[in-house]
Amino acid sequence: MIALVGLAAIGIYSLRASFLVTADRFQMPTSWKAALSHARPAVLGSLLMSIVAGGGFTSSPDITALVVVGVAVLASTRLDMSRTVGVGLVAIVVAGWLAG
């Protein structure tokens, strides 16, 4: 199992370092730069929906996840990040209490 973790660590590090180690020599095409400026919202939207849809994290369909995300979305429209996280964590505790 140690070997498995080691290989996974090397593989994931390689993915992370792929463009950074040669960043001083690598000239990124302009079209890439423009496209990658959309990476943050696209990846965040994808991560969120992968949790809701159950892509590797939870069982699907997941009503509890939808309710917790709904509460967090509502909170984020009015509150800053710290408070949104706080409200969301309370929602998880309440959902856990109702479920359990």
Partner 1 sequence: MRVADATMNIDTVIDAKLDPPSSLRAGLKDAKPVALALAPIGMALGAAVSTSPLAGVSGWLAGPLLLSGAAHFAMISTLVEGSGATAALFTALVLSSRMLLYSAALAPRFRAQPSWFRWVGAHLIIDQSFVMVDENVPLDETPARFRRYWFGCTLPLIAVWVATITVGMAIGPRLPDGWRLELAGAILITSMLRTAVTERSGRIAAVIGGAATFVLAGLPLGTGLLVGSVVGITATQHLVRPDRPGVAS
Distances (CA, A) of 2 to 6, 11, 71: 6, 14, 40
Q: Is 97 in the site for partner 1 (CB under 8 A)?
A: yes
| Shortest Å distance, C-beta 27 to partner 1 | 10
Contacts of 92 (CB under 8 A, 6+ apart): 68
Structure tokens that stand for 36 in this block: 């990658």
**Which residues in 18-47 contact partner 1 (CB under 8 A)?**
18-21, 23-24, 26, 28, 31-47
Segment 44 to 83, residues that bind partner 1, using CB under 8 A: 44-58, 60, 64-65, 68-69, 72-73, 75-77, 80-82
Q: Which two tokens stand for residue 98?
A: 């109702």
The CB-of-9 to partner 1 minimum distance in angstroms stands at: 4
